[in-house]
């Protein structure tokens, strides 16, 4: 009851629906048992987290399944194996490089804890990159084996629709294969966007598709954009000792709580990342020595300025991989604005037996675990008895910036917009992680806030945590909030001492009170 | 606004609250204030009224008042120094008789409350009572250890417990991080050594600042702090003896015993002369060298773990089981990880004699031990002997017998009812001295605060000792909440339980090349109650951080279904709980395969 109420209160209201729940559940009688007139019961286009999860689940349910996956090389020629963005050019390599940067901080801390580390300390990009890439390759291999184990047929081909049940695949060498299936799931994800209107952007810039696969250190780097990808990359580059600048046009971490976002960038600035705000790049040129000269413009004054970098990383957003699919042949409709595929609450597209999950689907959070769960549930709905829908609300996530930011539920702005300032109570605290004390680390951005409804029992609408291990801290609370936790219930939880997460159960000061939210003593 | 100003206002307000039987902070136009004034006048009780809208610094007063009482609005009513609340609360108190009770109270004593013991629980209780307008004293005195170690205000947690141990655990983790860092591309001279002295100085500096912070916060809240040993001499009267032996007596209406525990020695030849305990380790001026740890409590394993992590040769001598009271499957895994990382275990042995071979810092000790199962004896040479066998509550030398407070004669613990009240109605007890309650800082703090609010603040919430999460900061951390598997089986029977479990491989461990079948998570579900989760256990990095939020979820009645419906945060360790599929009863393999 409480949970349902919570969902209702947090939910954004009715979602776009293409049709009634016509093909809900497992009642797909025609193709039950065998693949019938089609080669496969299920064809999944895209071997990323969501696609693979869906394929494996369907195979587990005894279905004949194929996955087609093809990585179009990036403009710089970077390519990778099975597993999609998360494994190859996303969560995994980025968290490992984030860890490398954190370890740099720990080496500094270690002195204060008695470890005598001789100078100089330097970082070897090549060594890190090789280790990271080897790990990614082992994961690629693991995904291949898992498909094999579950008897999912895997094709390394680039797919496009021929008709609503048939897909044509082309191999690297141009060989064509036709595959037909009763059900088709599109899970092709997205790729970084290039600002092609900027002179030199495509020729000289790289994206997150390339950064993790660079053999040599990127050197002095300009990161353009203020998405979480941009800030995470800038964060770890700074952390391993590179001269790093972030250029952004407007606000950091759009869509996230803006107070938290401001603290994230403030922390990055105090740790050496440079920020150029309110600027847009206008052109990139290669200097004779090979370095890159970037020119930008101040959005307000229009004044131009320029600097030289070794690497330019575009992190200005992502575009869905829908162009090469020949969707018009299948009848699947996309959003004219985002190019993403329009889906209903069942993940079905405008064509009932074609589904879309993950980053390619309109209105979905672009997160690996969401895609995985959506993929599993989808397979269970198509082939099992399940009716379970994916609940896209209140998805927890963490931004792995140098000071990590974990969040769940509504931002303060969103809560106020939905419920009104008068009905929202925000509890907050600035705290000091114990481990920061000995090395004298600055904790001025370690901050927590819990956004609640003001009326008792003060249902928790959102939780925002900035500090070390934010992901680990947030996960459990995410669950509590889903279960419909109230502020009072969270406060009745006894802390685990001494941890950072115990500060969450000790949030006593409301913003409204105007009292000092700095935590002192135990 | 300058702080002196604020302090001045606070003093003025406290004076008003303490000097008046009924004190009403009001606004002349406020209808609620009028109702309260009418109530008291109808009862024929004179009251002092301060109209905030009619004084110059009314807004300022209201702000400070909200700090004192946690209430922002008027009317704000105090009766006999107790914060009653606003209009509704006052009428409620009138209806349920509390108001009459408060009005009858008379303070013939020096203090409203004396807290014996300045540890986490005692301080929390004292401060909360002071916030509620009470006159409070804290008596705290650290009897030096046999090795002469002593410390400041704050009790075990701050001085010889959680804080220094977590910092030293962190030092050991950083050692591991240094090791890992090379695999992540960091390059520096291979030769890295650890300086015990540097670490101790840093840790002790931090503790010093915390001691100071506690002193300051007591002063801010006008709690009288006396650095003397407290001992009851008669009812409502306590004798305080300071370091110089000077005695002073104080009386109070109510007492809280929060004296905590101190480690016990073994009672064998040579132990008090040559051995140290957790009381001494965290301020030990020299590196302990080759160390024998006696005992397998969580503190014992935590200390053995960080000493080994700092590069010392460590042996743990265990009479019977590891981490008694904790889930034994998890405890064994904690132990085996330590064993793989260089800690030696001598199982089923107890020391019988300690001899000094050489003096020094550290010296050299010969330890003789005998088997608990047979006639076998062994000897070993160590630099330091660390004893963590058992702790005794500090209840036998505080004059409890003079006023008739009952203790459990066997273990010295104080039995209390569900509102932490002893058999003597005006004496209460919290923290580690309690019988059958978890010995954890946050529990003591929670109990102390709630006790003060019940005693002086018209609140009724009791401390809930169920589903208390905790973490053991061994090299591989262990976090848990709820029941161990053994306890769960005992309470619910095996056939009514389903246990889900999994190994997991933290992403950060992959590059570092650490074992992939070490970190482990399990949950215990009650099949008779919607698969409600009654026990949650995790062994892995940051286990404390991971467990906390799940504990909050368990407070809300977490079920397996809800766990399954929750989306993981990728890539973290905590997400393992959202993907538990294999039951123990299925017997399926949970090991992670290699590449």
Q: Which of A82-119 are b and which e, b meaning 16 or more Cβ less than 10 Å from the residue's Cβ?
A: bbbbbbbbbbbbbbbbbbbbbbbbbbebbebbbbebee
pLDDT in tens, B437-491: 999 999 999 999 999 998 887 677 888 888 899 999 999 999 999 999 999 999 9
Q: Among A110, A119, A142, whose Cβ lies nearest the Cβ of B178?
A: A110
In this structure, the answer to whether residues B117 and B256 fall within a common structural domain is yes
Chain B residues in contact with A473 (beta carbon < 8 A): 545-546, 548-549
Q: What is the DSSP letter of A334?
A: B
Q: Whole-angstrom Cα distance, residue A44 to residue A66? A: 6
A167 forms bridges with which residues in the sheet? A161, A179
Residue located via tokens 């405008």: A350
Q: Whole-angstrom Cα distance, residue B46 to residue B214? A: 38
Q: Does B462 fall in a domain?
A: no
Chain A residues in contact with B447 (beta carbon < 8 A): none
Whether residues A495 and B558 touch (CB distance < 8 A) is answered with: no
Neighbours of A195 (CB within 10 A): 17
SS3 B591: coil
Q: Whole-angstrom Cα distance, residue B391 to residue B155? A: 14
pLDDT of B423 higher than 80: yes
The tokens describing A68, both together, are: 């087609």
In this structure, the answer to whether residues B564 and B437 fall within a common structural domain is no
B480 forms bridges with which residues in the sheet? B470, B537
Last residue of a domain, one of B41, B69, B104: B104
Q: Among A91, A497, A522, whose Cβ lies nearest the Cβ of B571?
A: A91
Q: Among B445, B471, B569, whose Cβ lies nearest the Cβ of A471?
A: B569
Mean per-residue pLDDT for A114-127?
A: 96
Angle value at C-alpha A404, between A259 and A424, nearest 5 degrees:
35
* Beta-carbon-side half-sphere exposure of residue A466 (alpha carbons within 13 Å): 27
Whether residues B210 and A368 touch (CB distance < 8 A) is answered with: no
Q: Which helix (H) or strand (E) holds B469?
A: none
Whether residues A472 and B574 touch (CB distance < 8 A) is answered with: yes
Whether residues B562 and A483 touch (CB distance < 8 A) is answered with: yes
pLDDT of A84 higher than 90: yes
Whether residues A476 and B552 touch (CB distance < 8 A) is answered with: yes
Last residue of a domain, one of B104, B123, B148: B104
Mean residue pLDDT of chain A comes to 91
Q: Whole-angstrom Cα distance, residue A149 to residue A160? A: 27
Q: Does B575 fall in a domain?
A: yes
Chain B residues in contact with A498 (beta carbon < 8 A): 162-163, 166
How many domains are contained in chain B? 4
Q: Among A104, A369, A434, whose Cβ lies nearest the Cβ of B166?
A: A434
Whether residues A498 and B166 touch (CB distance < 8 A) is answered with: yes
Whether residues A496 and B210 touch (CB distance < 8 A) is answered with: no
Pick A462 or B133 by higher pLDDT: A462
Closest-CA distance of chain B to residue A354, Å: 24
Closest-CA distance of chain B to residue A464, Å: 13
Grade residue B405 by pLDDT with cuts at 50, 70 and 90: very high
A300-304, A408-412, B465-469: range with lowest mean pLDDT: B465-469
Mean per-residue pLDDT for B323-342?
A: 96
Determine the residue of chain A that is closest to B576 in CA distance.
A475
CA–CA distances in Å: residue A390 to residues A51, A256, A380, A394: 15, 22, 11, 12
Closest-CA distance of chain A to residue B212, Å: 10
pLDDT in tens, B177-211: 999 999 999 999 989 999 999 999 999 999 999 99
Whether residues B181 and A107 touch (CB distance < 8 A) is answered with: yes
In this structure, the answer to whether residues B32 and B181 fall within a common structural domain is no
B11-20, B228-237, B554-563, B575-584: range with lowest mean pLDDT: B11-20
Grade residue B319 by pLDDT with cuts at 50, 70 and 90: very high
Grade residue B59 by pLDDT with cuts at 50, 70 and 90: confident
Are residues A355 and A225 in contact, defined by beta-carbon separation less than 8 angstroms? no
Residue located via tokens 């102390």: B448
Here the CATH number for the domain that contains residue B305 is: 3.50.50.60
Which residues of A form the catalytic set?
Answer: 497
Question: What integer pLDDT is reported at residue A418 of this predicted model?
Answer: 96
Are residues B238 and B255 in contact, defined by beta-carbon separation less than 8 angstroms? yes
Are residues B395 and B414 in contact, defined by beta-carbon separation less than 8 angstroms? yes
Closest-CA distance of chain A to residue B224, Å: 18
Grade residue B515 by pLDDT with cuts at 50, 70 and 90: confident
Chain A residues in contact with B203 (beta carbon < 8 A): 438
CA–CA distances in Å: residue B203 to residues A109, B1, B52, B145, B156: 13, 36, 48, 19, 15
Q: Among B188, B195, B568, whose Cβ lies nearest the Cβ of A114?
A: B195
Q: Among A2, A122, A397, whose Cβ lies nearest the Cβ of B187?
A: A122
Q: Whole-angstrom Cα distance, residue B140 to residue A90? A: 55
In this structure, the answer to whether residues B541 and B416 fall within a common structural domain is no
Q: What is the DSSP letter of B582?
A: -
Q: If we measure between CA atoms, which residue out of A224, A267, A282, A274 comes closest to residue A248?
A: A224
Question: What integer pLDDT is reported at residue B3 of this predicted model?
Answer: 59
Chain B residues in contact with A364 (beta carbon < 8 A): none
Here the CATH number for the domain that contains residue B93 is: 3.40.30.10
Which of A370, A497, A503, A519 to mutate: most B Cβ within 10 Å? A497
In this structure, the answer to whether residues B411 and B358 fall within a common structural domain is no
Give the β-pairing of B276-277 and B384-387: parallel
Q: Whole-angstrom Cα distance, residue A385 to residue A391? A: 18
A276 forms bridges with which residues in the sheet? A247
Q: Which helix (H) or strand (E) holds B131?
A: helix B120-131
Q: Whole-angstrom Cα distance, residue B442 to residue B120? A: 8
Question: What integer pLDDT is reported at residue A323 of this predicted model?
Answer: 92
Question: What integer pLDDT is reported at residue B134 of this predicted model?
Answer: 87
pLDDT of A286 higher than 90: yes
Q: Whole-angstrom Cα distance, residue A163 to residue A170? A: 16
Determine the residue of chain B that is closest to A502 in CA distance.
B548
Q: Whole-angstrom Cα distance, residue B378 to residue B385? A: 15
Determine the residue of chain B that is closest to A240 in CA distance.
B186
Question: What integer pLDDT is reported at residue A35 of this predicted model?
Answer: 54
Q: Whole-angstrom Cα distance, residue B132 to residue B67? A: 10
Determine the residue of chain B that is closest to A115 in CA distance.
B194
Last residue of a domain, one of B61, B85, B104: B104
In this structure, the answer to whether residues B520 and B549 fall within a common structural domain is yes
pLDDT of B18 higher than 90: no
* Beta-carbon-side half-sphere exposure of residue B139 (alpha carbons within 13 Å): 30
Q: Does B89 fall in a domain?
A: yes
Closest-CA distance of chain A to residue B146, Å: 28
The tokens describing A229, both together, are: 């990808």
pLDDT of A5 higher than 70: no
Q: Among B167, B507, B546, whose Cβ lies nearest the Cβ of A96?
A: B507
Whether residues B552 and A122 touch (CB distance < 8 A) is answered with: no
In this structure, the answer to whether residues B115 and B232 fall within a common structural domain is yes
Q: Does B576 fall in a domain?
A: yes
DSSP secondary structure of B217-241: HHHHTT-EEE-SEEEEEETTEEEEE
Size of interface A-B (CB pairs under 8 A): 302
Q: Whole-angstrom Cα distance, residue A128 to residue A237? A: 12
- Give residue B43's domain range: 6-104
In this structure, the answer to whether residues B87 and B130 fall within a common structural domain is no
pLDDT in tens, B73-106: 999 999 888 899 999 999 998 898 888 888 776 6
**0.95 exceeded by pTM:** no
Whether residues A476 and B547 touch (CB distance < 8 A) is answered with: yes
Q: Does B25 fall in a domain?
A: yes
Residues 6+ apart with CB under 8 A from B370: B349, B350, B352, B376, B377, B378
CA–CA distances in Å: residue B478 to residues B282, B403, B540, B569: 22, 42, 6, 20
Rounded to the nearest 10 degrees, the angle between the axes of helix B162-183 and helix A91-112 is 120
The tokens describing B54, both together, are: 């009619």
Question: What integer pLDDT is reported at residue B595 of this predicted model?
Answer: 45
pLDDT in tens, B102-159: 877 665 789 999 999 999 999 999 999 999 888 999 999 999 999 999 999 999 999 9
SS3 B564: helix
Q: Does B163 fall in a domain?
A: yes
Here the CATH number for the domain that contains residue B533 is: 3.30.390.30
Taken in order A342, A344, A350, A356, is the CA torsion positive or negative?
A: positive
In this structure, the answer to whether residues B15 and B162 fall within a common structural domain is no
Q: Whole-angstrom Cα distance, residue A15 to residue A24? A: 17
Grade residue A28 by pLDDT with cuts at 50, 70 and 90: very low
Q: If we measure between CA atoms, which residue out of A420, A396, A416 comes closest to residue A407?
A: A396
In this structure, the answer to whether residues B346 and B397 fall within a common structural domain is no
In this structure, the answer to whether residues B372 and B507 fall within a common structural domain is no
Question: What integer pLDDT is reported at residue A6 of this predicted model?
Answer: 47
Question: What integer pLDDT is reported at residue A411 of this predicted model?
Answer: 96
pLDDT of A3 higher than 50: no
Q: Does B289 fall in a domain?
A: yes
Whether residues A499 and B548 touch (CB distance < 8 A) is answered with: yes
In this structure, the answer to whether residues B131 and B259 fall within a common structural domain is yes
SS3 content of chain B, % helix, strand, coil (to 5): 40, 25, 35
The tokens describing A517, both together, are: 């939210």
Angle value at C-alpha A153, between A150 and A155, nearest 5 degrees:
140
Q: What is the ipTM of this complex?
A: 0.89
Determine the residue of chain A that is closest to B468 in CA distance.
A494
pLDDT in tens, A328-383: 999 999 999 999 999 999 999 999 999 999 999 999 999 999 999 999 999 999 99
Chain A residues in contact with B530 (beta carbon < 8 A): none
Q: If we measure between CA atoms, which residue out of A357, A353, A347 comes closest to residue A331?
A: A353
Q: Does B505 fall in a domain?
A: yes
B499 forms bridges with which residues in the sheet? B524
CA A414 to chain centre: 20
């Amino acid at each position: 009851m409480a949970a349902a109420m919570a969902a209702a209160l947090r939910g954004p209201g009715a979602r776009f629906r293409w049709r009634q729940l016509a093909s809900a559940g497992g009642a797909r009688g025609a193709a039950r048992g065998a693949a019938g007139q089609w080669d496969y019961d299920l064809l999944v286009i895209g071997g990323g987290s969501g696609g693979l999860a869906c394929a494996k689940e369907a195979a587990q349910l005894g279905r004949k399944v194929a996955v087609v996956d093809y990585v179009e090389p990036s403009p710089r020629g970077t390519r990778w194996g099975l597993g999609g963005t998360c494994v190859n050019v996303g969560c995994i390599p980025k968290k490992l490089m984030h860890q490398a940067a954190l370890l740099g901080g720990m080496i500094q801390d270690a002195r204060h804890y008695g470890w005598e580390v001789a100078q100089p300390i330097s970082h070897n990009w090549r060594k890190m990159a090789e280790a990271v890439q080897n790990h990614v390759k082992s994961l690629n291999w693991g995904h291949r084996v898992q498909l094999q184990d579950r008897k999912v047929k895997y094709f390394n081909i680039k797919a496009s629709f021929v008709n609503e049940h048939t897909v044509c695949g082309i191999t690297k060498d141009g060989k064509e294969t036709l595959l037909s299936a009763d059900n088709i799931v599109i899970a092709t994800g997205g790729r970084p966007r290039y600002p092609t209107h900027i002179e030199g952007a495509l020729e000289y810039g790289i994206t997150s598709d390339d950064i993790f696969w660079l053999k040599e250190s990127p050197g002095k780097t300009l990161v353009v954009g203020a998405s979480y990808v941009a800030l995470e990359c800038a964060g770890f580059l700074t952390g391993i000792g590179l001269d790093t600048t972030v250029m952004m046009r407007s606000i950091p971490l759009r869509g996230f709580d803006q107070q938290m976002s401001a603290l994230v960038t403030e922390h990055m600035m105090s740790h050496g990342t440079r920020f150029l705000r309110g600027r847009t790049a206008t052109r990139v040129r290669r200097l004779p020595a090979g370095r890159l000269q970037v020119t930008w413009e101040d959005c307000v004054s229009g004044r131009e300025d320029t600097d030289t970098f070794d690497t330019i990383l575009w992190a200005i957003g992502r575009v869905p991989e829908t162009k090469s699919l020949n969707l018009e042949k299948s009848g699947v409709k996309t959003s004219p604005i985002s190019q993403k595929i329009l889906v209903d609450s069942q993940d079905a597209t405008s064509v009932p037996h074609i589904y879309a999950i993950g980053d390619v689907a309109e209105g979905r959070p672009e997160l690996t675990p969401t895609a995985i769960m959506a993929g599993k549930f989808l397979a269970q709905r198509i082939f099992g008895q399940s009716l379970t829908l994916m609940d896209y609300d209140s998805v927890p996530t963490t931004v792995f910036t140098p000071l990590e930011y974990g969040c769940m539920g509504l931002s303060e702005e969103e809560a106020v917009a939905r419920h009104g300032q008068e009905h929202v109570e925000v509890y907050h605290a600035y705290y000091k992680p114990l481990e920061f004390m000995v090395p004298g680390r600055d904790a001025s951005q370690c901050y927590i806030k819990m956004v609640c409804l003001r009326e008792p029992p003060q249902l928790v609408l959102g939780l925002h945590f900035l500090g070390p291990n934010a992901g680990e801290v947030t996960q459990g609370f995410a669950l509590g909030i889903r279960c419909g936790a109230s502020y009072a219930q969270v406060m009745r939880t006894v802390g685990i001492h001494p941890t950072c997460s115990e500060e969450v159960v000790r949030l006593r000061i409301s913003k409204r009170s105007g009292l000092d939210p700095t935590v002192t003593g135990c | 606004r300058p702080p002196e100003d604020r302090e001045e206002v606070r003093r003025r307000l406290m004076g008003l609250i303490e000097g008046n039987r009924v004190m009403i902070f009001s606004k002349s136009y406020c209808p609620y204030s009028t109702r309260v004034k009418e109530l008291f006048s109808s009862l024929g009780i004179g009251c002092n009224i301060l109209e905030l809208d009619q004084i110059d610094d009314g807004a300022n007063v209201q702000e400070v008042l909200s700090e004192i009482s946690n209430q922002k609005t008027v009317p704000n009513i105090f009766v006999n120094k107790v914060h009653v609340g606003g209009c509704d609360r006052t009428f409620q108190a009138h209806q349920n008789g509390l108001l009459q009770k408060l009005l009858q109270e008379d303070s013939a004593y020096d203090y409203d409350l004396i807290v014996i013991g300045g540890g986490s629980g005692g301080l929390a209780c004292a401060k909360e009572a002071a916030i509620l307008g009470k006159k409070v004293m804290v008596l705290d005195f650290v009897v030096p250890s046999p090795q002469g170690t002593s410390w400041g205000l704050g009790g075990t947690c701050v001085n010889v417990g959680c804080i220094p141990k977590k910092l030293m655990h962190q030092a050991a983790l950083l050692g591991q991080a240094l090791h890992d860092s090379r695999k992540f591309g960091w390059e520096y001279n291979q030769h890295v050594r650890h300086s015990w002295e540097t670490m101790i100085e840093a840790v002790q500096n931090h503790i010093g600042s915390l001691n100071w912070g506690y002193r300051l916060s007591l002063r801010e809240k006008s709690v009288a702090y006396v650095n003397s040993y407290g001992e009851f001499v008669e009812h409502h009267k306590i004798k305080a003896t300071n370091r110089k032996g000077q005695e002073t007596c104080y009386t109070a209406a109510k007492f809280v015993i929060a004296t905590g525990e101190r480690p016990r020695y073994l009672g064998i030849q040579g132990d008090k002369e040559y051995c140290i305990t957790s009381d001494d380790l965290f301020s030990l001026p020299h590196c302990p060298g080759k160390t024998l740890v006696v005992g397998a409590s969580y503190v014992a394993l935590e200390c053995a773990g960080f000493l080994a992590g700092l590069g010392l040769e460590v042996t743990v001598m265990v009479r019977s089981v590891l981490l008694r009271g904790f889930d034994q499957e998890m405890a064994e895994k904690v132990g085996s990880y330590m064993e793989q990382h260089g800690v030696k275990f001598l199982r089923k042995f107890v020391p019988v004699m300690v001899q000094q071979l050489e003096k020094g810092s550290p010296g050299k000790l010969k330890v003789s031990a005998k088997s608990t199962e047979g006639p076998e004896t062994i000897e070993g040479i160590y630099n330091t002997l660390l004893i963590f066998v058992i702790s005794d509550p500090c209840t036998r030398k505080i004059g409890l017998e003079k006023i008739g407070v009952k203790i459990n004669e066997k273990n010295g613990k104080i039995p209390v009812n569900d509102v932490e009240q002893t058999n003597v109605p005006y004496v209460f007890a919290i923290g580690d001295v309690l019988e059958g309650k978890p010995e954890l800082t946050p529990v003591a703090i929670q109990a102390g605060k709630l006790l003060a609010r019940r005693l002086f603040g018209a609140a009724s919430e009791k401390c809930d000792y169920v589903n208390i999460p905790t973490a053991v900061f061994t090299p591989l951390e262990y976090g848990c909440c709820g029941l161990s598997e053994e306890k769960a089986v005992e309470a619910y029977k095996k056939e009514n339980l389903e246990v889900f479990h999994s190994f997991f491989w933290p992403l950060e461990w992959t590059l570092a090349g650490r074992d992939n079948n070490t970190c482990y998570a399990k949950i215990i579900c009650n099949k008779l109650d919607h698969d409600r989760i009654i026990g949650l256990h995790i062994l892995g990095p940051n286990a404390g951080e991971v467990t906390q939020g799940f504990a909050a979820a368990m407070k809300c009645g977490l079920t397996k279904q809800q766990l399954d419906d929750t989306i993981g945060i990728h890539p973290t360790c905590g997400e393992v709980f959202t993907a538990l599929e294999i039951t123990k009863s299925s017997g399926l393999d949970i090991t992670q395969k290699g590449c």
